[in-house]
Structure 1
Amino acid sequence: MTDTFEDIPIRHNMQTIAFYNLENLFDLNNNKHTNDNDFLPTSVKKWTSKRYNNKLRKLGFAISNIGRKETGKHPAIVGLCEVENAKVIEDLLASKYLESHNYSYVHYDSLDERGIDVALLYDVNMFEVSNSETFTISLIDDDGLPDYTRDILLVYGLLDGEKVHVIVNHWSSRREGEKETEFKRMASSNKVGEIITALRLENDNAKIIVIGDFNDDPHSNSIKQLVNGFNLFNPMETLRSFTRGTTKHNRQWNLFDQVLISTNFFKTSDNFFEYYTANIFDEDFLKLFNGKFKGSPFRTYIGKRYQGGYSDHFPVYVVLKK
């Protein structure tokens, strides 16, 4: 891994807000409350401390460089998903490329059936947390029983002195089919709408950033409903193409990972943050460099076969500027 981002001047008037699906960041311990049997030293995947620490180091390197080309520094705020618990976040923050940064985190355990949660990393020198809470999505499965998915995390605080609200998401997957599972993502979309409405009742000029792995693309109903119904801007709409996305399935790119912002990030004032740019962080070191899947995300595993990569998703980010 080369430090290709080191000689960029730090821009103190800019901050990066990022999101990264870490692809099954499980620790080595067997937890009877989570579905972690694949990720144990004794499992078929042989999830050993060497492999775990390799993944932590690589993820830390990736995170520390998101937005660096624009800002000259690591991101102020990073939403995460697919973390098993607080321990894996602490291990990540203690890893080689993150230990020198002043990151702290917000995390709550959710009732998700896979035992994975969302979380928020933040640099305490750039972002001061005022409050946080989680919102559960009420879903019912085909048998009429509760169907548990990841909670939505709301964190608000002061980004370089300006109040912002960050909503972190990891919506239900398409595993049983896109149409068959759409109602689950619409339920999450509705919940995000409720959160935004409540925030605006308190402050009609609330600055809101919605980040996550939505398991839907920018043109999907669940995302369009938020953009059109709640006065949001989705910079990811123009980034998806046949050759670019954040995750690849059946040789097709999807842009499931997105950052949406309230349109008041376009009001210009010297004292407040405004939208500067957004992108997919798909640097070459995060990609497979040969073979038939060349250019796809360099994953930790393909099935049960260990690859030693980063994640099956690329991170996404938005840069704000004062």
Structure 2
Amino acid sequence: MRFTPSAAIIGCSLLFSFHGAFAQKKDYQINAIAFYNLENLFDTVDDPEKIDEEFTPTGSYHYTPAIYAQKLHNMATVLSQIATEKVPDGPALIGVAEIENAKVLQDLIAQPELKDRKLRYVHFESPDVRGIDVGMLYNPRYFKVLQAESLPIDITENGRKEYTRDILYVAGLLNGDTLHVMVGHWPSRRGGEAASKWKREKAASVCKTKADKIRAVNPDARIVVMGDLNDDPISPSVAVTLGATDRETAIKKNSFFNPWIAYYKKGIGTLGYNDSWNLFDQIMLSPAFLKDDTGGWNFYKAEIFNKSFLRSQFGQYKGYPHRSFSGSTWINGYSDHFPTYIYLIRQINKES
């Protein structure tokens, strides 16, 4: 298999082909999609419409312009390295969570580590009480935005309305092929996993409803659902409400494919809590990504970006993500989550 990140073929030749005959050489384009929870990427300005006072110079985190500048540098360092072993320009799309506003995305893509990629972003303000949103970065060399909207999640209970992050929906062209992308940061487990699970099921149902509408028009639509789900691959919101499952079942039942199930069953995760791993950061795909006969982009592999510099090197949290703060003390880390990413491939030539 020979990969090309956009047009010119690069010299990566393997003795197998994607869902094809052994040792048959074929030429492929390759690209990547990633997700990263940026762990409280706030600016330093007190927004009277948000509960962001703790992330200001006089707040409990003593969040100074110097810390903000370093936080941006650290986040850009991570984003600049994801998937570059196969795609030198990095992912075409990067979903992000825990961002305060559009300004932090502007500042992020202007960092020296990312500036040359000329990334753009999609963002809407969400009603989340803390003022954190989701967004999507994209490389305009590979992806063209056609449509974007914010999908609200109604988690009203007994007449009391709670506010959480909306789902970001973006439709666009990845090297000419239509993709439908949903980026989410589903409601937290505050109050307990069991007591709060219905809220995440509501978030999953928003994604499922949108996907069903898209596939009613085009059954072979390529749909991506990604985000910090605050649930694992086997949780009811993911496995039942959204219906994300293994490859064979996804094809058979025409449901979503979740490549992270295998990781989770091996005890591999993206964040650590109470001496155990969770895998909240997931990227799931409609079955069109698994079928050769639909043309366009197909799923190749999934990875967790957990390089050694992203892991705590000592103490009780050794091996866990090296986060930005310990309590309210800045420790010059990155995030309390590892990023996840997937590779997509698209055949160029039938024979070589």
Q: Where on the TM-score scale, by shorter chain, does this alignment land: which range?
A: over 0.9
Residue number in structure 1 paired with 2:160: 145
Q: CA deviation at 1:190?
A: 1.0
d(CA) in 2 for partners of 1:286 and 1:205?
37
Matched ranges for 1:192-203 at <5 A: 192-203=207-218
Q: Aligned letter for 1:239?
A: Y
Question: Given that residues 254 and 287 in structure 2 are in contact (C-alpha distance below 8 angstroms), is that contact kept between their aligned partners in structure 1?
Answer: no
Change in 2 beyond 3 A, CA 1:286/1:131: same
Question: Given that residues 168 and 212 in structure 1 are in contact (C-alpha distance below 8 angstroms), is that contact kept between their aligned partners in structure 2?
Answer: yes
d(CA) in 1 for partners of 2:88 and 2:52?
37
Q: Does 2:196 match 1:172?
A: no
SS at match of 2:60: coil
- Name which of 269, 278, 301 aligns with 1:277: 301
Unaligned runs of 5+ in 2: 1-9, 13-27, 246-252, 347-352
SS at match of 2:54: coil
Question: Given that residues 297 and 312 in structure 1 are in contact (C-alpha distance below 8 angstroms), is that contact kept between their aligned partners in structure 2?
Answer: yes
Matched ranges for 1:5-20 at <5 A: 13-20=29-36
Return 25-34 or 67-76, whichever deviates more. 67-76
SS at match of 1:58: helix
Q: Does 2:243 match 1:219?
A: no
Deviations 1:6-51 (A, max 9, x none): xxx6988111100000011100000011111110001121101111
SS at match of 1:155: strand
Q: Does 2:146 match 1:122?
A: no
d(CA) in 1 for partners of 2:67 and 2:293?
47
Residue number in structure 1 paired with 2:280: 256
Q: Does 2:260 match 1:245?
A: no
d(CA) in 2 for partners of 1:263 and 1:199?
13
Runs ≥4 residues deviating over 4 A: 9-12
Q: CA deviation at 1:268?
A: 2.1
Aligned-residue identity in percent: 40
Deviations 1:58-104 (A, max 9, x none): 11111111111233331110001100000000000111211111210
Q: Does 2:208 match 1:184?
A: no
- Name which of 108, 118, 125 aligns with 1:102: 118
Change in 2 beyond 3 A, CA 1:76/1:235: same
Q: Does 2:181 match 1:157?
A: no
Q: Aligned letter for 2:182?
A: I
Question: Given that residues 257 and 316 in structure 1 are in contact (C-alpha distance below 8 angstroms), is that contact kept between their aligned partners in structure 2?
Answer: yes
Q: Does 2:56 match 1:32?
A: no
Deviations 1:132-160 (A, max 9, x none): 11111111256x32100000111011001
CA RMSD of aligned residues (A): 1.7
SS at match of 1:100: helix
TM-score, reference length from structure 1:
0.93
d(CA) in 2 for partners of 1:321 and 1:193?
25
Question: Given that residues 10 and 72 in structure 1 are in contact (C-alpha distance below 8 angstroms), is that contact kept between their aligned partners in structure 2?
Answer: no
CA radius of gyration, larger in = 2
Matched ranges for 1:51-62 at <5 A: 51-62=67-78
Question: Given that residues 76 and 108 in structure 2 are in contact (C-alpha distance below 8 angstroms), is that contact kept between their aligned partners in structure 1?
Answer: yes
SS at match of 1:238: helix
Q: CA deviation at 1:184?
A: 0.2
Q: Aligned letter for 1:254?
A: N
SS at match of 2:260: helix
Deviations 1:240-259 (A, max 9, x none): 25653111111211000000
Count of aligned pairs:
313
Residue number in structure 1 paired with 2:312: 288
d(CA) in 2 for partners of 1:76 and 1:105?
11
Q: Aligned letter for 1:66?
A: I
Deviations 1:261-299 (A, max 9, x none): 011112226951111100111111111112221111111
d(CA) in 1 for partners of 2:172 and 2:69?
31
d(CA) in 1 for partners of 2:78 and 2:208?
31
Return 266-275 or 108-117, whichever deviates more. 266-275
d(CA) in 2 for partners of 1:83 and 1:219?
27
Change in 2 beyond 3 A, CA 1:41/1:141: farther
Change in 2 beyond 3 A, CA 1:242/1:36: farther
Matched ranges for 1:58-97 at <5 A: 58-97=74-113
Q: Aligned letter for 2:46?
A: N
Unaligned runs of 5+ in 1: 1-8
Question: Given that residues 228 and 282 in structure 2 are in contact (C-alpha distance below 8 angstroms), is that contact kept between their aligned partners in structure 1?
Answer: yes
SS at match of 2:117: coil
Residue number in structure 1 paired with 2:59: 43
Change in 2 beyond 3 A, CA 1:10/1:54: farther
